[in-house]
């Protein structure tokens, strides 16, 4: 792999604007190369054996040694051979002796020669890129140093809380004694009495500084677990932040601080890799320059880089060592192997068996679809008397799985293109490192579920056709219910099978949606709620499951009995409105928290959709011109409002004065036409509600339930398209703010200016 591609693949996606623009500098070098070739009238032809001769001669060169035993043997350059002069321009802070605030400028000494203007442009751009990299690195280092100071205070409080909880009587003068120059990162094993602690003060001849409990008087606990009850108490100001000194507080505080250390260590690793990659990129680009121009300018420039803050600063390396040592000691009981597995998770390896089973399940799905089509054609089921009865009862039961499989396939496509265009979906969703599902794993789930669903459909057809199984009609009707129970059991299975971490993550987000607005709304929470707004028909099919099997209608295959009740009609509306109502509550929670004032308009958007859905559902149940007009008017308003929000707010498009007219300044996809096509498709698919208002479902050639299923599939496809551009916009927002690490709430709050005790 060429260095340019390797360089791009190892970038932190959210920091890509801060890296050296290697490709642009290569373009400038190509311009220099093109000019020099034009100026060359004739190129000497090298003999064929020159390359092999050069390699043969290099084999006889003296070995310089692994430790540079001969010293620096490169010949000293005369001033006449100098190509560039690099000088450090002092800024305002430099007058006070701050050597880190330099900006560097290169003077090209051969500008008078032919083509010198091209090289002047190259070095000017090179200086700009290096100053950008150096400045960004310095800014980030200062940021992590401040974060380290905050973590020091948090660790002081955690250690003091450990001592207080595990030994509440440990308040002797010895424990509160402060040794000059002590640093509260060393802890000793807690014991039952202070006398035993006094004996452990010196272990193996080493003096251990005891942590002070005085820090607990200057901090407050924030480690209360977020629950609906805790949220209600905080609303009515009943939730106190004082210490109770119990083990639950200690457990929650330790869990939060452990996660903060993990995220901080990841940021440090990003910074270390950032410095290394950029230094390597500057070395590569200067060597290319020397090769193209036959000059020797790289030594002087790379020497400047070696003396710069980017190369000389060692704060990041020291912080990494200290964070790892503290994590091993305080969070892993001295088990370094366990600590390194947590702090430095191994890269996720692609498993070939996943690819194999995806192909296997996909082939089985195709075979089962062909078998179903053959059975329907041979038995002429489309013209049979039981066609209508089958579409009214069995079809809604199985279409639920069809909607779920289609959603999984769309999500697999999203993951594939997010990965291809380096949209950091794992960070955006907040997955635990190494647990995110790739597109093949999602395809595995989708194709596996499709095999089970198609096998169930075929078994229903065969059982009804076989004369020997006619007496087991009630049993055949239970096949869809068995599939639903199987999927639910897999979803809540506590064992480490079928991607347990992802299932747990999904269930937590689902619980947050159900309990809205009692939990802080994060992106995964409202993203999942948005998915449910496109799966209204799936939720209604679940309602039919309860009706069909709960009322015992499956015994006689009669799904119309419970549908005729008023309770079913009311629940039919409530089920459709529920996902939108969850989004309204989430918008209100975000509005009251003050994170985004536009959430008021977003809540109104979802409320207008609720009105439109209720109007359309009542019209489909009772008909009438007046209801049709009301349903049409409310649907038009909700569609215009929602379409505007999708394209302008969620996707960030339709910016008139952007670099890409009517799109946005930054685009990930290479072709701008794709964005315009997506906007048009969003508008068209948003109009799917018209089939209800204009009675498109009542057609002679297609059953009503089949038309409803088609419209529901179109909405799922629209949501899949929306998902990609929504996360692309979120990713670009993170890139603009250089936000590459999750911000973790810390367990303790304190007054400004608190010092280590």
More confident residue, 479 or 61: 479
- Cα 528 to Cα 430: distance, rounded to the nearest angstrom: 13
The residues, ordered by sequence, that sit 6+ positions from 529 with a Cβ below 8 Å of its Cβ are: 513, 516, 579, 582, 583, 586
Model confidence at 359: pLDDT above 50: yes
Q: What is the pLDDT of residue 467?
A: 57
pLDDT band at residue 469 using 50, 70 and 90 as cut-offs: low
Q: What is the pLDDT of residue 62?
A: 59
- Cα 134 to Cα 664: distance, rounded to the nearest angstrom: 29
Q: What is the pLDDT of residue 522?
A: 92
More confident residue, 176 or 366: 366
Mean pLDDT of 369-390: 83
The residues, ordered by sequence, that sit 6+ positions from 736 with a Cβ below 8 Å of its Cβ are: 666
pLDDT (tens digit per residue) in 296-317? 888 888 999 998 999 999 999 9
CB 86 within 8 A of CB 106: yes
Pairing between β-strand 202-203 and β-strand 103-108 as defined by DSSP bridges: unpaired
Mean pLDDT of 324-332: 92
- Cα 737 to Cα 147: distance, rounded to the nearest angstrom: 18
Strand partners, 105: 87
> For residue 116, what are the CA distances in angstroms to 128, 290, 342?
18, 14, 53
Which residue, among 748, 753, 694, has the nearest Cα to 216 in the 3D structure?
748
More confident residue, 234 or 47: 234
Which residue, among 314, 234, 248, 264, has the nearest Cα to 154 in the 3D structure?
264
Q: What is the pLDDT of residue 173?
A: 40
Q: How big is the chain, counted in residues?
A: 757
More confident residue, 233 or 396: 396
pLDDT (tens digit per residue) in 579-626? 999 999 999 999 988 767 899 999 999 999 999 999 998 988 887 888
Q: SS in 3 state form for 557-600?
A: CCCCCHHHCHHHHHHHHHHHHHHHHHHHHHHHHHHHCCCCCCHH
Lowest mean pLDDT among 185-199, 200-214, 542-556, 618-632: 185-199
pLDDT band at residue 187 using 50, 70 and 90 as cut-offs: very low
The ranges assigned to domains in the chain are 1-37+82-168+212-344, 352-736
- Cα 610 to Cα 600: distance, rounded to the nearest angstrom: 15
- Cα 439 to Cα 452: distance, rounded to the nearest angstrom: 20
pLDDT (tens digit per residue) in 14-25? 899 999 999 999
pLDDT band at residue 94 using 50, 70 and 90 as cut-offs: very low
Q: Is 258 exposed, middle or buried (0-12, 13-18, 19+ CB in 10 A)?
A: middle
Copy the structure tokens of residue 22: 């290697």
Q: What is the pLDDT of residue 44?
A: 55
Lowest mean pLDDT among 201-210, 251-260, 660-669: 201-210
Ramachandran angles phi, psi of 77, nearest 5°: -85, 140
Strand partners, 263: none
Instruction: Name the region of 89 (left: φ>0; alpha: ψ -120 to 50; beta: rest).
Output: beta
pTM of the shown model: 0.84
203 DSSP assignment: E
Ramachandran angles phi, psi of 206, nearest 5°: -105, 140
């Amino acid at each position: 792999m060429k260095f340019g591609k390797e360089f791009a693949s190892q970038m932190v996606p959210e920091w890509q604007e801060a890296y050296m623009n290697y490709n642009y500098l290569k373009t400038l070098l190509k311009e220099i190369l093109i000019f020099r070739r034009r100026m060359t009238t004739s190129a000497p032809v090298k003999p064929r054996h020159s390359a092999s001769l050069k390699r043969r001669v290099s084999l006889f060169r003296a070995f310089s040694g692994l430790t540079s035993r001969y010293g620096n043997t490169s010949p000293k350059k005369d001033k006449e051979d100098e190509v560039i002069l690099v000088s450090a321009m002092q800024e305002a802070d430099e007058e006070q002796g701050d050597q880190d605030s330099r900006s560097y400028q290169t003077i090209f000494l051969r500008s008078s020669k032919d083509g010198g203007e091209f090289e002047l442009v190259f070095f000017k751009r090179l200086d700009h890129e290096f100053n950008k990299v150096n400045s960004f690195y310095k800014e980030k280092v200062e940021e992590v140093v401040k974060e380290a100071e905050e973590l020091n205070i948090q660790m002081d409080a955690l250690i003091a809380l450990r001592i207080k909880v595990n030994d509440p009587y440990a308040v002797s003068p010895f424990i509160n004694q402060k040794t000059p120059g002590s640093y509260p990162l060393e802890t000793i094993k807690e014991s039952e009495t202070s006398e035993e602690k006094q004996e452990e003060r010196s272990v193996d001849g080493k003096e251990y500084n005891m942590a002070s409990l005085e820090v607990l008087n200057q901090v407050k606990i924030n480690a209360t677990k977020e629950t609906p009850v805790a949220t209600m108490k905080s609303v009515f100001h009943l939730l106190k932040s004082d210490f109770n000194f119990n083990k639950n507080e200690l457990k929650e505080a330790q869990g939060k601080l452990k996660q903060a250390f993990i995220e901080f260590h990841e940021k440090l690793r990003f910074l270390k890799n950032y410095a290394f990659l950029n230094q390597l990129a500057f070395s590569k680009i200067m060597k290319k320059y020397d090769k193209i121009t036959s000059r020797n300018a790289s030594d002087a420039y790379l020497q400047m880089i070696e003396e710069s803050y980017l190369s000389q600063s060692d704060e990041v390396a020291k912080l990494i060592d200290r964070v790892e040592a503290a994590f091993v000691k305080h969070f892993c009981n001295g088990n370094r192997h366990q600590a390194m597995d947590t702090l430095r998770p191994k890269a996720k390896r692609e498993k070939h068996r996943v690819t194999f089973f995806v192909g296997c399940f996909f082939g089985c799905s195709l075979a089962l679809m062909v078998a179903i089509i053959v059975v329907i054609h041979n038995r002429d089921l489309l013209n049979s008397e039981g066609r209508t009865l089958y579409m009214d009862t069995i079809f809604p039961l199985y279409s639920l799985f069809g909607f779920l499989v289609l959603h999984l396939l769309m999500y697999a496509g999203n993951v594939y293109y997010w990965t291809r265009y380096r949209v950091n979906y794992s960070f955006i969703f907040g997955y635990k490192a190494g647990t995110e599902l790739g597109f093949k794993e999602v395809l595995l789930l989708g194709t596996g579920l499709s095999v089970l669903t198609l096998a169930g459909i075929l078994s229903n057809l065969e059982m009804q056709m076989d004369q020997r199984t006619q007496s087991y009609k009630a049993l055949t009707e239970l096949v869809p219910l068995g599939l639903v129970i199987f999927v639910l059991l897999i979803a809540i299975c506590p064992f480490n099978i079928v991607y347990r971490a992802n299932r747990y993550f999904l269930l937590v987000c689902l619980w947050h949606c159900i309990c809205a607005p009692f939990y802080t709304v994060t992106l995964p929470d409202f993203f999942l709620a948005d998915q449910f707004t496109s799966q209204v028909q799936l939720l209604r099919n679940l309602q039919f499951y309860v009706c069909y099997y709960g009322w015992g209608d499956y015994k006689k295959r009669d799904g119309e009995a419970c549908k005729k009740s008023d309770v079913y009609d009311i629940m039919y509306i409530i089920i459709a409105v529920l996902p939108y109502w969850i989004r309204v509550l989430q918008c209100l929670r975000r509005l009251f928290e003050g994170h985004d004032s536009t959430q008021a308009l977003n809540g109104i958007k979802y409320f207008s959709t609720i009105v439109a859905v209720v109007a359309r559902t009542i019209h489909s149940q009772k008909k009438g011109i007046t209801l049709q007009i009301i349903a049409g008017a409310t649907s038009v308003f909700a569609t215009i409002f929602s379409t505007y929000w999708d394209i302008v707010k969620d996707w960030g498009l339709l910016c008139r004065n952007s670099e890409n007219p009517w799109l946005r300044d930054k685009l990930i996809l290479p072709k701008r036409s794709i964005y315009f096509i997506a906007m048009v498709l969003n508008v068209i698919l948003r109009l799917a509600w018209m089939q209800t208002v204009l009675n498109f479902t009542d057609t002679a050639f297609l059953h009503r339930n089949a038309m409803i299923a088609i419209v529901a599939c179109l909405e799922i496809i629209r949501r899949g398209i929306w998902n990609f551009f929504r996360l692309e916009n979120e990713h670009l927002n993170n890139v603009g703010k250089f936000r590459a690490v999750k911000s973790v709430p810390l367990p303790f709050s304190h007054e400004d200016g608190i010092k280590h005790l």
